[in-house]
Each structure stands twice: as structure tokens, then as C-alpha cells.
């Protein structure tokens, strides 16, 4: 009897245990079914995946900072859902040429770029943020004063660490500048390097590539870059090539001698054995308008014989560079104090006046001549409070305000400002801009900085700081129909990623980084003008960086999920 009761007791316990197990399993399954599959789900959008193909209807799912799935995703659940009905869902835009190196240290939110749909910025033209050694240090640190910054780095790796400590809303990748390594080893002098100096410059390029630079850049109209000969650039580019990098250049001329400048870029590509990218591709100077086809033919011929030559452009008819670029480069050698001293010398000023009026052998980029006279130069940014009144004014207007002729007004402004300032130069034609834009190997680069209207040191900059990408989408795609929308998106995304070697960006594909831009194709537009540039673009509704929403219904969330993106040589 006791035996039977014990059996019954065990049977009862087993039955109860089985029931408990079944219930636990049911609740567990039910709970799992309710747990969100994804961190973020963008639904009902018109997806342009960056490949250049037509849009398709569907959803984009994000998990752990990566794209988890794309397409028709029935019954998917997520912690956050964005309804993109009527909107285009695209990869985040990659700005191929920017100057946000220091403004992102001032404010990592990158407002003017995030509001354009930009998720990655490529920095580091010729005078890159590093290395900073030897003769380069004093002038470099003086240049940081306008931003209110103090340097705590010498190498590119040190700069990257500073940026990541502070936090950024966009991703960044950087070149190492040929001009910067030249300054570190030689200073701002007009001569060829010795064998030892060239070796030291190569060592600095190697260190930067190991720190994560994506390649070598040059700005060959700027001192000391302009003093470098082709063989020097080839020697430095070979180091970048060894680490899987590219060569990117503001070529030696964009006006009268632009074809020979393009030939030099092609020669560097061929002899150093690496791809070459040309910054802000243009035909500059009123006398040269209409000559863009010859430049395109030269690059296409190089591509047809197997050389990887690409370019980027900004969608405007004006450029922006230093006001000092109105002065022949021969007078810019040395320190800023030496440059200012020359400007004070009446004899030198007379020489400069004559050079601007009649030309100077070896000086092919006469900015004043290129823009048709002093009215073609607009003051953009000055730092002294007493000079702020001139921002946004043309140089002939500034001269009248100062009661001087334009050259004297310019020289006196540069003296007051310590040798530098920023200007906008109206030197391109609309047909040339559109023809360049139609080339499949030309991407989009703002050549501007990530800024906000409260940054007084920026002044009244070129509207490209605020409007480049929406201007392409609104003005050139929707209104002028220069490009189909899918092709414009390809230029801003997968083409840019291919050029820079960022293999996990630029496409909406499972496994890729979740950098995503969602915009209204009917309303996206730039608002910034040359007269009033401090205006954010409209029509960009959502921007996601590494899976985190940074722009939500057109408003910055304050999130800073951006990363430093390293080149292939990172050790």
C-alpha cells in the first residue's frame, strides 16, 4: 500500500512538473515573440539603395549599428519605428571633400552637415591636422586660435583620439597632407627636399597611414605645396600606395594650365601605383569657360587605359579660398609675419599690383583676373571685430568703405588679420558645372565645414557649408533634371565609398554600417545663399549614424554616435 501511494505521489509530481515545464515554455515563447527583432525599423519608404538602380518599396531594419535586412519585411518588430511614407530612404551621404577638421572639435554635432544628410566626412586636404612637428608647430598652433582650440596631439592617431573623446555626430576619415609633412620637415620654403628630408617626409606619411589615414592629399596652389615638384609627390604617394591608400589632389591649376595639372595627377597615379582623386573638379576663370569637355576627355582617356582617376565637385559657380590667394605665391613664402612684412613694403605692393594687372611668369592662377575683377571677390570670413563689417561685401565695395583702391584695401585687411582671411570667388560657369556633374566618375564634395550659425569665426561662408547635397537633389535633380535621382544618390554614397575605400558604407545591404538618410524628394532644397549663407537646408527628415538617430523629423537629437573610419594601413 505504501508502495502504491509512493508511485502515485511520484506520478503526480511528474505531471505537475510537466505542466509547469509546458507553461514555462509557452510563456517563454510568447515573450520571445513579443521581444523586438530590431533596434530600428524604417517602413513604407521608397528605397534607393545607393547602387544607382530604381527605387523599390520596402523597409530597412537595423540591429547593433548594422543593417540587418532590406526589403519587404512582414510582421517585423523594433524598438523604434520610422514611418517613411512618401520619403526616400538612402544610404547616408559621404562628403568627399570637407574642412571640418577643427570645427568638429569646437562642436561635434556637425549641424550644417547632418542637416544635409551627411553621415561621413572626408577631411585632411594638404594642410592636414597631423603630423605637427618641428617648423610646422608654431604656425599651426597660431591657426587654432581662431577656433579657441589648444592642440594636444602630434600625430594623426592623437587627433583621432581627441575627436573620439569629445564625441562626434558624423563619421570622419582623413588624408595626410603632403604640405603638412613638408612643413614639419622643411618649413615653408621654396626649394626641393634633400635626400634625407624626403626620407623623413616619407616616414611621416608612413606613420599617418599606420594611424589610419586613407591616403595622401595635396593642395598644389597653396604654399608650401606649390613648391613641391612631381617627383616629390610620387615618392610620398608610393608610401600611401604601399598601405592601400589613394592620392587626392587640389591640382596645380584649375584655369589656364588645367590640362597639364590633370596630366600631373594622372602621372602620379601611374608612377606611384594608386588611384587618384581630383578635388572640386572645375574649369575656373572667365576666359576658360566652355573648356570643360577637354578636361573630361583627358580623364576619360586615362580611365580607358586602366587608370583609376575620379573627381568630386560642389554644385555652385563660385569657389572659396583664402583672400591671400589674390597675392602671387612667391610673396607667401616663410612665416605669416614675413608675409605681412612684405605687404607693408610699398615696393613689394607695387610689384603685386603690376602682377595682378599684367600677369607674372609662372603664376597661372591670378584670382582677380579669373573672376573678372575685384567685384568677383567677396569677403567671407575675418576675425578682428573691427573687420566684421566687411564680411559679405565685394572687394570693390570694401575698398569704397575704406576709402582706398581694392589692392590697398586687400593688403591692409590681410595685415590687420595677420596674413589670412577667407573669400568667395565667382569664377565658374553653369554649363561647365552641369557637364562635370553628368560624368559617372564625379562624386559630390562640399569643400565646406560642419558649422552652425552661432560660430562667429566662420563669418559669412560659401553656401556650400550648408547646402551642397540638398542643392544637388533639389535644384539639379528635381528642377533642372541634370541627373536622375538614383544616379545622384549613387554619387553621394556608393561611388564615394568606392573612391575612399570605405567598404562597409555607401549601400543599403545587410551587414553594412547603418548610416541612413531619409528625405522628402518633393521638398528637399538648399536655403543658403551667397548673400545669406547661414541657413540650414530643408527636406532632410531623418539621419541615422551607426544605427543611432541623429536627426529626427528635421531636428538634431544631440546624439554623437560617429566613429573615426580608418584606412587599410591601420596597425
% of the chain at pLDDT higher than 90:
92
Give 549 or 20, the one with higher predicted confidence: 549
pLDDT for 358-379, tens place per residue? 988 878 789 999 999 999 999 9
* Average per-residue pLDDT for the chain: 94
Tell me the backbone φ, ψ of residue 68, rounded to 5 degrees.
-95, -35
The residue assigned the cell 532590406 is 70
Residues 6+ apart with CB under 8 A from 361: none
- pLDDT at position 35 is 84
The residue assigned the cell 571633400 is 97
Specify the pairing of strand 442-444 against strand 309-313: parallel
Distance CA 21, CA 32 (A): 16
Distance CA 39, CA 77 (A): 9
Is residue 130 over pLDDT 50? yes
Q: Which residues of 319-352 are buried (b: 16+ CB within 10 A; e: fewer)?
A: bbbbbbbbbbbbbbbbebeebbebbeeeeebebb
- pLDDT at position 33 is 53
Radius of gyration of the chain (CA): 27
Task: Answer for the pair 526, 468: CB distance below 8 angstroms, yes or no.
Answer: yes
* pTM score of the predicted model: 0.93
Is residue 4 over pLDDT 60? no
- pLDDT at position 2 is 39
Is residue 80 over pLDDT 60? yes
Helix 336-344 and helix 406-416, axial crossing angle in degrees, nearest 10 = 140
- pLDDT at position 431 is 98
- pLDDT at position 21 is 39
**Which whole number is the average pLDDT over 414-439?**
97
**Which whole number is the average pLDDT over 115-119?**
99
Distance CA 470, CA 472 (A): 5
Is residue 472 over pLDDT 60? yes
pLDDT-based confidence at residue 19 (cuts at 50, 70, 90):
very low
pLDDT for 475-486, tens place per residue? 999 999 999 999
- pLDDT at position 15 is 41
Task: Answer for the pair 330, 324: CB distance below 8 angstroms, yes or no.
Answer: no
Amino acid at each position: 500500500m505504501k508502495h502504491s501511494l509512493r508511485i502515485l505521489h511520484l506520478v503526480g509530481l511528474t505531471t505537475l512538473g510537466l505542466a509547469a515545464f509546458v507553461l514555462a515554455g509557452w510563456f517563454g515563447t510568447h515573450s520571445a515573440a513579443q521581444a523586438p527583432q530590431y533596434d530600428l525599423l524604417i517602413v513604407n519608404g521608397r528605397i534607393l539603395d545607393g547602387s544607382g538602380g530604381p527605387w523599390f518599396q520596402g523597409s530597412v531594419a537595423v540591429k547593433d549599428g548594422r543593417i540587418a535586412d532590406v526589403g519587404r519585411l512582414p510582421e517585423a518588430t523594433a524598438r523604434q519605428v520610422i514611418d517613411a511614407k512618401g520619403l526616400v530612404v538612402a544610404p547616408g551621404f559621404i562628403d568627399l571633400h570637407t574642412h571640418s577638421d577643427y570645427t568638429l572639435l569646437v562642436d561635434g554635432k556637425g549641424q550644417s552637415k547632418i542637416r544635409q544628410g551627411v553621415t561621413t566626412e572626408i577631411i585632411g586636404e594638404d594642410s592636414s591636422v597631423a603630423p605637427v612637428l618641428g617648423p610646422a608647430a608654431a604656425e599651426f598652433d597660431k591657426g587654432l586660435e581662431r577656433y579657441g582650440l589648444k592642440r594636444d596631439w602630434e600625430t594623426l592617431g592623437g587627433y583621432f583620439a581627441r575627436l573620439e573623446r569629445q564625441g562626434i555626430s558624423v563619421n570622419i576619415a582623413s588624408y595626410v597632407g603632403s604640405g603638412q609633412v613638408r612643413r614639419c620637415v622643411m618649413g615653408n620654403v621654396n626649394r626641393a627636399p634633400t635626400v634625407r628630408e624626403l626620407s623623413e617626409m616619407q616616414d611621416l606619411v608612413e606613420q599617418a597611414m599606420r594611424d589610419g589615414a586613407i591616403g595622401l592629399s595635396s593642395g598644389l596652389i597653396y604654399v608650401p605645396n606649390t613648391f613641391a615638384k612631381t617627383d616629390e609627390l610620387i615618392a610620398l604617394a608610393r608610401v600611401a600606395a604601399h598601405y592601400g591608400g589613394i592620392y587626392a589632389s587640389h591640382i596645380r591649376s584649375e584655369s589656364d594650365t588645367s590640362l597639364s595639372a590633370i596630366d600631373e595627377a594622372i602621372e602620379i597615379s601611374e608612377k606611384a601605383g594608386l588611384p587618384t582623386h581630383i578635388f572640386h573638379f572645375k574649369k575656373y576663370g572667365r576666359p576658360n569657360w566652355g573648356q570643360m569637355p577637354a578636361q573630361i576627355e583627358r580623364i576619360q582617356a586615362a580611365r580607358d587605359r586602366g587608370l583609376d582617376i575620379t573627381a568630386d565637385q560642389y554644385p555652385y559657380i563660385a569657389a572659396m579660398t583664402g583672400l591671400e590667394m589674390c597675392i602671387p605665391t612667391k610673396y607667401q613664402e616663410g612665416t605669416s609675419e614675413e608675409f605681412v612684412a612684405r605687404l607693408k613694403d610699398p615696393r613689394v605692393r607695387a610689384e603685386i599690383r603690376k602682377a595682378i594687372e599684367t600677369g607674372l611668369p609662372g603664376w597661372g592662377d591670378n584670382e582677380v583676373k579669373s573672376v573678372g575683377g575685384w567685384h568677383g571677390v567677396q569677403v567671407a570670413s575675418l576675425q578682428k571685430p573691427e573687420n566684421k563689417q566687411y564680411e559679405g561685401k565685394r572687394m570693390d565695395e570694401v575698398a569704397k568703405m575704406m576709402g582706398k583702391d581694392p589692392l590697398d584695401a586687400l593688403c591692409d585687411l590681410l595685415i590687420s588679420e595677420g596674413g589670412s582671411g577667407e573669400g568667395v570667388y565667382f569664377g565658374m560657369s553653369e554649363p561647365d558645372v552641369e557637364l562635370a556633374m553628368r560624368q559617372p566618375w564625379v562624386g559630390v564634395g562640399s569643400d565646406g565645414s560642419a558649422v552652425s550659425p552661432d560660430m562667429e569665426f566662420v563669418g559669412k561662408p560659401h553656401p556650400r557649408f550648408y547646402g551642397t547635397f540638398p542643392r544637388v537633389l533639389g535644384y539639379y535633380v528635381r528642377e533642372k533634371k541634370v541627373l536622375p535621382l538614383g544616379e545622384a544618390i549613387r554619387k553621394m554614397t556608393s561611388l564615394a565609398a568606392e573612391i575612399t575605400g570605405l567598404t562597409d558604407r555607401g549601400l543599403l545591404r545587410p551587414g553594412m554600417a547603418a548610416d541612413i538618410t531619409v528625405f522628402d524628394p518633393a521638398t528637399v532644397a538648399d536655403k543658403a545663399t551667397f548673400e545669406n549663407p547661414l541657413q540650414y537646408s530643408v527636406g532632410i527628415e531623418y539621419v541615422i549614424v551607426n544605427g543611432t538617430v541623429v536627426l529626427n523629423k528635421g531636428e538634431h537629437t544631440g546624439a554623437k554616435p560617429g566613429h573615426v573610419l580608418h584606412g587599410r594601413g591601420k596597425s
